[in-house]
Structures are given as C-alpha cells and as structure tokens.
C-alpha cells in the first residue's frame, strides 16, 4: 500500500480528528521521511529543517529556532484575540544509536542510527496539530508548540529551559505524550501523580591492592569486594525502602582486571548501575545508603570505595488538575472506556520531567499496539516502528488540549 492510499483505520470523535484525518496520508509521508533520516540528540539538523519547512507551509505565526541548540518553537494565536493564556505542547525529535533490522521502504538510511522510540511519530503528530490549529484558530490565546531535541540521555528539555524556553514563552500549562505499544490504538493512558521514575547513574570505584593470583593473602582483592558490594546493595530496596514505596537499584556493569591475565589480581574494580525512584525522599535514602554500605563493605575487607551518584532525570510527576483536564479531553475523543486514568507508572525515565518541575501539566501515553501485531514491538527494539494509524488521534489530542484550555467566548 502506498502512502497516498493510507486511510485512517481509527475512529474518534470531534472536529479536530475529522479534519486532521483528511491529511493523514501527508502526515504518514512526513513521519516516514523522518524515520528514514534519524539523528541523535542535538544533531537534529535535517529533522529541524523538515519541521520548520512544514510549519511554514502550515501557516503558523512565528518559528523560533536555536532554542536548546537544535530545538525550535512555533506559536499560533487563536482568533479570540483577548486572552493572554498560553498552552504548551511538546514533542521530542531525536533518535537512538541503534542498527535497524526492519526491511520496509522507510527504514533508516543512516547506519547505526534508528528511530527506535517513536519520536518521529511524536514530531509528526505535533506538526499535524500545528496545521489544524493554524487553519482553524478556534481558541482564545496562544498555542506554543515545542519541538525538543535530545530526549534520549541528553536532557534536551532541561537545556531548552536553561536557554530561556519558559521565559520567552511563559505557558500556563504544558502537555506531552508518548506512544505505548502495550496499549491498544484508540486508547490513552495517564495518571495523576508519578508517570515515570527518576533516572540516576551510580559509579562505584573500589580500590584494593593487586598482586599474584596464586598469593591472594598478599592482596586486597577488589573483585571479591565488588561481589560482596553487589550483594549488599540489593538489601537497600528490600530492607531500607518502605514496601509501599518503589525503588530499583541495578548494577549493570563491572570492570576489573584483564581477561587475558588469569593470574593477576587487579588493584581496582568499578561498578556502574542505575537507580530509579518516584520520590525525592526515597532517592535521598538510596543515595545515602549506597554511600554507607559501599564504604562499610570495602572497609571490612581492607579496601576503600568511592561512590559517584549522578541525578540525571527527575521523576515525571503529573499535576492533578491538568491530568484531570487531559483525561476529560481524551474521553471526548475516544470515549470513557478508552481512557485509562490510573495507568501504572513506569520505571523508565523521561526528560519531560524537567518541564513538569517548573510548569503544571500532564504526560500521557497513546496506545499503538494493534491486535494484528502492528505497533506491538517494544520500544528501543531493532524492529520497532511507529504505528501511523494513530497519527490523526495524537494530533487531534494535542489540538483539543489547546482548544479546550483556551475556549472562544460564546
């Protein structure tokens, strides 16, 4: 089936969905072009140019580039002309350092790079919302469309904020969404509170005394210390964190010695892992206990340990009022039975959290995993692809958030 033959298979309510569905084939072509040209964080030159070009064709009022390096912001004023309210909509643009194993026509044309998380789809949905909002302008206020770089580990949201995003565009609330293969198309999920965990990096450097593997009594073996440290760390969640709270501590890498030196006890060992929590109190507790345990275990063996704890992304916490509002908007599109208001939080992380730290708002999941298997491949998999069937719904949800946040006077 060619792009021009693509017909919307999802049904939803409302004028926004009906109108956006008319240019669904164009959104699909745009999305697939982005998929074929993936770019890493802060390298989204082609993506940014395509977005800018599309926004110009859409007829937005202004396009501001270079915010947060490769980020850009578009504004659209409603035809009410009286309100000073501003509502922000955010989409991430970057790809992943992965080799794609799909074989369709729009697979990645760039070796070692892939849109394995659907940011190509997120960008296309927001462009679709821009086109509809610029054509109709059925709202009183200003829509602020945020095309964000560097979500995948680069904290692009934080960089945009530090570059004056909300000083220049003081939105009253900000909304974002992410495709979710575990939800069916036509379903929206959210939660008034934690949606995603914080992401912290832990590096533990253990120093012992190296020597000959045949004479361990002459050494202080950092490998042994590392093994006991890994085991001790697992007691933090089970014995220090309350059962009703949530935390994950995973030691994911260890480096010590040389695989070619079977009889050399190394002098140092390094452990690297991640910590995931939903609350700052639990995060503080885990950091403190990691320092205490690692140093105590090392001291017990005559070694020393230094813990480097880096707080990378904070937890993504939706604000209650905006979550309730977003749920009602979604229900108007897909019906009450297709909105999950108590979606289980994920231990993954998301830098939209930085925006929710300074502005009220909500982060939503839009289902894309169809019964026929389309869109069911998990995120960050080499065979993942965004489900183009949901493009009109995602765009309509964005647009409806603007229209209903800033309604025209009757």
Q: Is the sign of the CA dihedral 39, 352, 23, 186 positive or negative? A: positive
Tell me which of 151, 152, 350, 403 is the catalytic residue: 151
* φ and ψ of 173, to 5 deg: -160, 160
Q: Closest Cα to residue 309, out of 344, 333, 283, 327? A: 283
Q: Alpha helix (H) ranges present in 155-271?
A: 156-162, 165-168, 222-239
Q: What is the dihedral of CA 355, 357, 360, 361, to 10 degrees?
A: 50
Catalytic (active site) residue 94: yes
> Contact, 168 vs 75, CB < 8 A?
no
**In angstroms, how far is CA 298 from the centroid of its own chain?**
36
Q: Closest Cα to residue 196, out of 314, 73, 310, 99? A: 314
The packing angle between helices 320-334 and 391-405, to 10°, is 130
Tell me which of 26, 39, 43, 94 is the catalytic residue: 94
> 3-state SS of the chain: helix, strand, coil percent to 5?
35, 25, 40
> Contact, 384 vs 118, CB < 8 A?
yes
**Catalytic residue set:** 94, 151
């Amino acid at each position: 089936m060619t792009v021009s033959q693509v017909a919307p298979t999802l049904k939803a309510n409302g004028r926004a969905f009906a109108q956006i569905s008319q240019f669904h084939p164009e959104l699909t072509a745009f999305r697939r072009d982005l998929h074929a040209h993936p770019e890493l964080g802060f390298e989204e030159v082609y993506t940014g140019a395509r977005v800018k070009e599309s926004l110009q064709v859409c007829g937005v009022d202004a396009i501001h580039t270079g915010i947060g390096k490769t980020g850009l912001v578009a504004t659209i004023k409603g035809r009410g002309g009286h309100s000073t309210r501003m509502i922000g909509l955010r989409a991430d643009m970057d790809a992943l350092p992965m080799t794609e194993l799909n074989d369709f026509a729009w697979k990645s044309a760039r070796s070692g790079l892939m849109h394995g998380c659907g940011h190509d789809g997120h960008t296309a949905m927001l462009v679709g919302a821009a086109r509809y909002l610029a054509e109709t302008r059925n709202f009183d206020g200003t829509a602020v469309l945020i095309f964000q770089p560097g979500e995948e580990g680069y904290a692009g949201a934080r960089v945009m904020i530090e570059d004056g995003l909300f000083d220049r565009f003081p939105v009253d609330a900000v909304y974002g969404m992410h495709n979710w293969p575990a939800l069916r198309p036509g379903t929206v999920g959210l939660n008034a509170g934690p949606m995603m965990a914080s992401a912290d990096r832990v590096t533990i450097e253990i120093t012992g005394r190296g020597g000959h593997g045949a004479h361990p009594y002459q050494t202080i073996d950092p490998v042994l210390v590392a093994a006991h440290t890994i085991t001790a760390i697992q007691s933090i969640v089970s014995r220090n964190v309350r059962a009703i709270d949530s935390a994950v501590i995973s030691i994911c890498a260890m480096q010590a010695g040389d695989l070619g030196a079977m009889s050399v006890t190394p002098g140092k060992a390094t452990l690297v892992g991640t910590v995931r929590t939903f609350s700052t109190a639990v995060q503080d507790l885990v950091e403190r206990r990691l320092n205490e345990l690692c140093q105590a275990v090392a001291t017990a063996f005559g070694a020393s340990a230094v813990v480097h704890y880096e707080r990378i992304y904070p937890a993504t916490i939706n604000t209650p009022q905006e979550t309730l509002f977003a749920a009602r908007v979604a229900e108007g599109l897909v019906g009450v039975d297709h909105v999950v208001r108590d979606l289980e939080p994920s231990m993954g992380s998301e830098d939209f959290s930085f925006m929710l730290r300074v502005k009220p708002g909500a982060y939503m999941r839009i289902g894309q995993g169809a019964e026929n298997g389309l869109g069911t491949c998990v995120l960050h998999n080499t065979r993942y692809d965004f489900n183009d069937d949901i493009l009109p719904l995602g765009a309509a949800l964005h647009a409806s958030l603007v229209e209903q946040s800033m309604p025209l006077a009757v």
